[in-house]
Chains A and B, each alone.
Chain A
Amino acid sequence: MLTIKNLHAEVEGKKILKGINLEINKGEMHAIMGPNGSGKSSLASVLAGRDNYTVTEGEVWFNGKNLLEMSPEDRAREGVFLAFQYPVEIPGVSNINFLKTAVNEVRTYKGLPPLEAKEFLKLTKEKQQLVDFNTNLMNRSLNEGFSGGEKKRNEIFQLAMLNPQLAILDETDSGLDIDALRIVSNGVNKLRDAEKSFVVITHYQRLLEYIVPDFVHVLYNGRIIKTGTKELALELEEKGYDWLKEAEHEKESV
């Protein structure tokens, strides 16, 4: 579904991604871990099309299409979804109006008619329940004054509404207490199916107890330096990243 080949990217002249290779197939759950500043959010941003990043080398293919040539909105319409690490507050745009616009623009792109008000409401109700998203927040301005946890739930709620093929969750667990974490993880698990794939970026093994990954990758200094299965996450929890960092630096100095 998604193929990343030798991806290099810079921001403000600074090299951030230094040759990422990753293959994600239908139905897979990938976790990306790694210390702060290693480039996890940058990778997510490049995939979603944030324009302050410049791709200097490499390719990204999504269902046979060149993702890097698409506008951010077309990537979303093709089925790539990024749950932001820091969801943006937009005063004056109501959550509900925002969602309606998003859902209908994606539908139009796919050649579907816009949802009738009734259908939209029904879908909204159903998906709200999935992450226990407070109905009162629907008519409020998008993320404005939401708590950290409410913002993260809103991201997953939007994910459920838009029903993408590939969802990238950037530290969705940070800012969530244990109950919220369980609810959000359950929501994500319910969305899993054989057609959909996920990339969860996280610092903590904790999330991976709820959302069990097929693969775990360690991103460090703009590269994936290790790939394993869910046991790798446990090992990282126990030993930290230093042993991997050292191994990496030794390789570099050779």
Chain B
Amino acid sequence: MTSDIMIPFYQALTEDVTALSAPQDSLQDTRREALERFAAAGLPTLKTEAWRFTNIQRFLKEYPYEFSNTPATTTANVADEAAIAGLDSYRIVLVNGHLQASLSNLPEGKGIHIGAMSASTDAPGFSKWFNQQKHLSTESLANLNTALFADGLFIELQANVVIDKPIHLVHVYTSDRHAFVQPRHLWILHKNAAATIIESTVHPKQEAVAFANSVTEVVVLENAELWHYNVQQGAENFRNVNTTAAQQGADSRYHHFSFTLPNTPLTRNNLSVILKGSNTETNLKGLYLATGSQHVDNHTFMDHLQPNCNSNEHYKGVLLDTANAVFTGRIHVHQDAQKTNAFQQNNNMLLGDKANINSQPQLEIYADDVKCSHGFTAGQFDEEAMFYLRARGIGEESAKALLVNAFSHDVTDEIAVPALQDYIQGQIEAIMNN
């Protein structure tokens, strides 16, 4: 699955898509169709409804990126930068999407299939589930990923498999040229299976900039449960468009957390969840703490197709300096999805003079017996609380750190892995005390 394309990147994306040759593999037809869809729609512009507040073209033009599909490797030292103190876990290291087995420690056992996407196309779940989440084909950058991705991580847990420890998935992005990398993952949990996956990102210090356009497909089947944490430790030399497309079967539980930390200039998280069975539970929790001129766009879509499902979405943002954030919370409750509970909240602390948030709930409700709500707030530090803390000898910076941690607690309290909870709270404190 290797093909480096040496035509000017931005020109290829905008004018000459046909010159991009997709990897020749068993997915050729799917890839060609995706490329055609991409060619037809083109890159999103500010007129594209889902991209009104994020000028993706500006970021794509910023550097002369090259498509980089060649496997890269990294060192243990670099991978260790993602370490979470006190976390007892398996570790899987992916470099620009390519599995580096020498640094990985995979769970093994009956019914566990974990490996590179490129080596897993014959796995039973692959053909059944690959690129099946229907919202993927409507997103231009996801189509680009489908057409041209090189590799990623495939996980298939057969019925009743429960992974005993969290899987720490460390994404390393590295290249000596400005690179556009497109990892592609597919994780399938069959009936009653359960797992916890913690994603981290690492960017070795280097001159070149990596632009990731990654897609993760998540399939949580009947009564299965997935805790999915995406810790986006940032870097100046990174741009991140991250698409997670999930689908849930009956009685399943999917808990998705995203933590966006400084300093990645662009983060766009597309997250869509399709509920295909009833009695499901979905928790979407987000925390974005942005500094400098970071742009963080969380674009979420809860698609309620079936009755008696609960979804609970809570995104909290702390925006310093001139950071800019966008939150879109689309909830679609189909006519059959009676007794749906769908809640959504987006709360922000605007701490920089020029910090800004654009928040838009989009509720489309076609069933009559449902409970749906949404809310939005944007505020500053509570003066009374600040004074109270300072009057006890706590300095202004530490007081702010305490209050930001306090603000984040409805999200951080829900983290079910104590070491990760400590890690995130520690990160918040370190950022605020900086």
Contacts of A49 in B (CB 8 A): 390-391
The interface bits of chain B over 410-432 (1 if a CB of A lies within 8 angstroms of the residue's CB, else 0) are 10000000000000000000000
Judge if B395 is at the interface, Cβ distance under 8 Å.
Answer: yes
- Whether B106 is near chain A, meaning CB under 8 Å from some CB there, is no
Q: Do B392 and A91 have beta carbons less than 8 Å apart?
A: no
B interface footprint on A206-238 (CB within 8 Å = 1, 0 otherwise): 000000000000000000000000000000000
Q: Would A84 and B393 count as touching, CB distance under 8 A?
A: no
The interface residues of chain A lying within 8 Å CB-to-CB of B389 are 90, 93, 98, 102
Q: Assess whether B271 is interfacial by the CB under 8 Å rule.
A: no
A105 lies within 8 A of chain B by Cβ: yes
Query: How distant is A145 from chain B, measured CB to nearest CB, in Å?
Result: 15
Most chain-B Cβ atoms within 10 A of its Cβ — which of A77, A84, A90, A141?
Answer: A90
Q: How far is the CA of A225 from the CA of B411 in the complex (A)?
A: 53
**Any B CB within 8 A of the CB of A50:** yes
Q: Which residues of B contact A90 (CB under 8 A)?
A: 382, 385, 388-389, 402-403, 406
Q: Do residues A158 and B409 form an inter-chain contact, with CB atoms below 8 A?
A: no
Contact A91 B393, CB 8 Å, known A72-B387, A101-B398: no
Residues of B within 8 A of A82 (CB): 391
Option from A51, A77, A92 in Cβ contact (under 8 Å) with B393: A77
**B4: interface (CB < 8 Å):** no
Contact A88 B388 (CB under 8 A): yes
Tell yes or no: A73 within 8 A of B by CB.
yes
Q: Does B394 contact A (CB under 8 A)?
A: yes
Give Cα A227–Cα B189 distance, bound, in whole angstroms. 78
Please give the number of chain A residues whose Cβ is less than 8 angstroms from any Cβ of chain B in the complex: 30
B398:A76 contact, CB within 8 angstroms? no
Distance A135 CA – B316 CA, assembled complex (angstroms): 31
Selected contact of A91 from candidates B394, B396, B409, CB within 8 Å = B409
Q: Does A66 contact B (CB under 8 A)?
A: no
A98 touches B391 (CB 8 A): no
Of B391, B393, B406, B410, the residue contacting A93 (CB under 8 A) is B406
* Interchain CB contact (< 8 A) of A92 among B391, B395, B398, B405: B405
Q: Are A102 and B406 in contact (CB under 8 A)?
A: no
B residues in contact with A88, CB < 8 Å: 382, 384-385, 387-388
Q: Which of A76, A92, A93, A158 contacts B390 (CB 8 A)?
A: A76
Complex CA gap A91/B409 in Å reads 9
Q: Does A71 lie within 8 Å of B394, measured CB to CB?
A: no
B395 A105 Cβ-Cβ under 8 A:
yes
The answer to whether A162 has its CB under 8 Å from any CB of chain B is yes
Most chain A CB within a 10 A radius of its CB, from B382, B387, B396, B409: B387
Which residues of the partner chain B approach A73 to less than 8 Å between Cβ atoms? 390-391, 393-396, 399
Which one of A48, A50, A72, A77 has the greatest number of beta carbons of chain B within 10 Å? A72
Of all chain A residues, which has the CB nearest B388?
A88
Cα–Cα, bound, A82→B389 (Å): 11
Interface centre among A52, A93, A97, A141 (most CB of B within 10 A): A93
Contact of B402 among A76, A98, A162 (CB under 8 A): A98
Q: A240 on the interface (CB 8 Å rule)?
A: no
Q: Are B406 and A76 in contact (CB under 8 A)?
A: no
A92, B406: Cβ atoms under 8 Å?
Answer: yes
Beyond A73-B394, A98-B392, 14 additional contacts (C-beta under 8 Å) are A49-B390, A72-B390, A73-B399, A76-B390, A88-B387, A90-B388, A92-B405, A92-B406, A93-B389, A93-B406, A98-B389, A98-B394, A102-B394, A162-B392
Q: Report the 10 A-B pairs with minimum CB-CB distance, sorted nearest first.
A: A92-B406, A92-B409, A76-B393, A72-B390, A88-B388, A102-B392, A106-B393, A93-B406, A73-B390, A77-B393
Q: Can you give 15 contacting A-B residue pairs, CB < 8 Å? A: A49-B391, A72-B391, A76-B391, A77-B393, A84-B388, A88-B384, A88-B385, A90-B389, A90-B406, A93-B389, A93-B402, A101-B398, A105-B394, A106-B393, A162-B393
